[in-house]
C-alpha cells in the first residue's frame, strides 16, 4: 500500500517562503509522475505543479510560475515544493499525488493522494 505524507505547511506572512515535502512509503516513486495540488475553501482543487519521473520536465500553474519550484529526490522517495514570495491567495490545503505508468502527467486522475498540509499566508 502506497502512502504519501505531506509536511512543511504552516502560517506565514506575505512575502515569506515555505518548502513542502511529500514522503512516499510502500513503493518507490522513481517510476511515478508526481504532482502538487491545492484546494482553497470554496474553490476547486487545482494542479499547482507537476514533475516527470527523473525530474527533467516540470509544469506550473500560471498563478505560481516564477515563485514555486517542484523537485524530487527519488533515492529518498520525496517530492518537494519550494514556495517563495507567498501571497494570501496561496492559502490552501496542499496535496501531493502520484501517478504510476506515465512519465509525466498533468491530469487529475492520480493514483494516490496524501492527506494534505495547510498553508496559510496572512499578515
Is it the case that residue 9 has pLDDT exceeding 90? yes
Helix H, strand E, coil C: the string for the chain is CCEEEEECCEEECCCCCEEEEEEEECCCCCCEEEEEEEECCCCCCEEEEEECCCCCCEEECHHHCCCEEEEEEHHHCEEEEEECCCCHHHCEEEEEEEEECCCCCCCCCCCEECCCEEEEECC
Instruction: Choose between 14 and 29: higher pLDDT.
Output: 14
Structure confidence by residue, pLDDT tens digits, 38-65: 999 999 999 999 999 999 999 999 999 9
Residue 34 has what pLDDT?
Answer: 97
Instruction: Check whether 115 has a pLDDT greater than 90.
Output: yes
Q: What is the pLDDT of residues 63-78, one digit of tens each?
A: 999 999 999 999 999 9
- Give residue 28's pLDDT: 83
Residue 93 has pLDDT above 90, yes or no: yes
pLDDT at 96: 98
Amino acid at each position: 500500500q502506497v502512502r504519501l505524507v505531506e509536511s512543511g505547511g504552516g502560517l506565514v506572512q506575505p512575502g515569506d517562503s515555505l518548502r513542502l515535502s511529500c514522503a512516499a512509503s510502500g513503493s518507490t516513486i522513481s517510476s511515478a509522475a508526481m504532482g502538487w495540488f491545492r484546494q482553497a475553501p470554496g474553490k476547486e482543487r487545482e494542479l499547482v505543479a507537476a514533475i516527470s519521473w527523473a525530474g527533467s520536465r516540470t509544469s506550473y500553474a500560471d498563478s505560481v510560475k516564477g515563485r514555486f519550484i517542484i523537485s524530487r529526490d527519488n533515492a529518498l522517495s520525496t517530492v518537494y515544493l519550494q514556495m517563495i514570495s507567498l501571497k494570501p491567495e496561496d492559502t490552501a490545503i496542499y496535496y501531493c499525488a502520484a501517478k504510476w505508468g506515465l512519465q509525466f502527467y498533468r491530469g487529475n486522475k492520480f493514483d494516490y493522494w496524501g492527506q494534505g498540509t495547510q498553508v496559510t499566508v496572512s499578515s
